[in-house]
Amino acid sequence: MRATVKIKKGGTGDQNRATYQIFKYLFLPIKNNLSCNDRVSWIGGDLNGYGVIERKASLMATAMNSGHEHLRGRLYRHVLVSCEPCGDKESRLDAERRLRESAPLLAALLGARRWIAVIHRDTPCPHLHLIIANYDEEKGHRLDPKRDFLKELQEMRWTPFLDKGKGFGTGQKGPRGQAIERLRLLRREECPRRRADALETLQEFLAKVKASGRNTDAIVGVLTTSELPSGWDGTKLLTKSGKPRATPSLVVDGIEIRLKFYLNWSRGRGRS
């Protein structure tokens, strides 16, 4: 299973407002035993000391939308983890299991103590909604990770990440320290190998471009007229108007490779 991660943030007001809104719009419907909705298969989390495990709830879409309307700014963070389409019941159940495992891990990576997660099945593939209170009550400040860290989370394949165990060699005993160590392990072992494989496959395309001037138009022509190898997810070569992009890129095995880093592209023309 390959998963993609999108992270949004919002919310204004005092430090407890985000947690209160999450509690109000997602926890109370479960507590009051409202009618179940088959499109919501699991809800888990930890809010104000209450554990929320293996529950179903109705009005999930209404709860999520209402929460977003009331939370504006940066006091909550919404993480969406989407899986590849699941063809049969067995693969769907396996995807949901991995999504359940990723929820507390993502919350720990983002430093959240109060969070709630929902597995939603309103599309052909299950996906996870994770909402965290973006505030650290102990330290008295917001949990705003660096942009580079969030970008790494969004570009990551979560299947090998979840299979790494509980962290090795970390000096931090808490869940956040273990999660960060697992992130380092994946970054060191998995990502460089996949990037090297992708670049090796890219060499034959660059060889074809060499004879045609090595400009942006040439490489766009080669890549759009050639059949993409196995494992290539797509290309980002043209703008919406159909013109060549100034910085064309490829998506290989979930990793976006910007060609300017390898051919020193300037706008409209590149050189080695």
What domains are defined for the chain?
A: 3-189 (3.30.930), 203-270 (no CATH)
User: Does residue 193 or residue 169 have the better pLDDT?
Assistant: 193
What pLDDT, in 10s, does the model give residues 205-261? Answer: 666 666 666 565 666 666 666 666 665 666 777 777 877 777 777 776 566 667 665
Query: What number of residues does the chain have?
Result: 272
Give the pLDDT band of residue 165 (cuts 50, 70, 90).
Answer: very low
User: Is residue 122 within 8 Å of residue 44, measured between CB atoms?
Assistant: no
- Average model confidence (pLDDT) across the chain: 59
- 5 alpha-carbon distance from chain centroid: 1
* pLDDT at residue 105, rounded to an integer: 79
Residue 81's φ and ψ, nearest 5 degrees, are -110, 115
What does pTM read for this prediction? 0.45
Q: Give the best-scoring range by mean pLDDT among 85-94, 96-105, 129-138, 223-232.
A: 96-105
Q: Is 241 exposed, middle or buried (0-12, 13-18, 19+ CB in 10 A)?
A: exposed
Give the pLDDT band of residue 92 (cuts 50, 70, 90).
Answer: confident
State in Å, rounded, how far the first CA of the chain is from the last one. 37
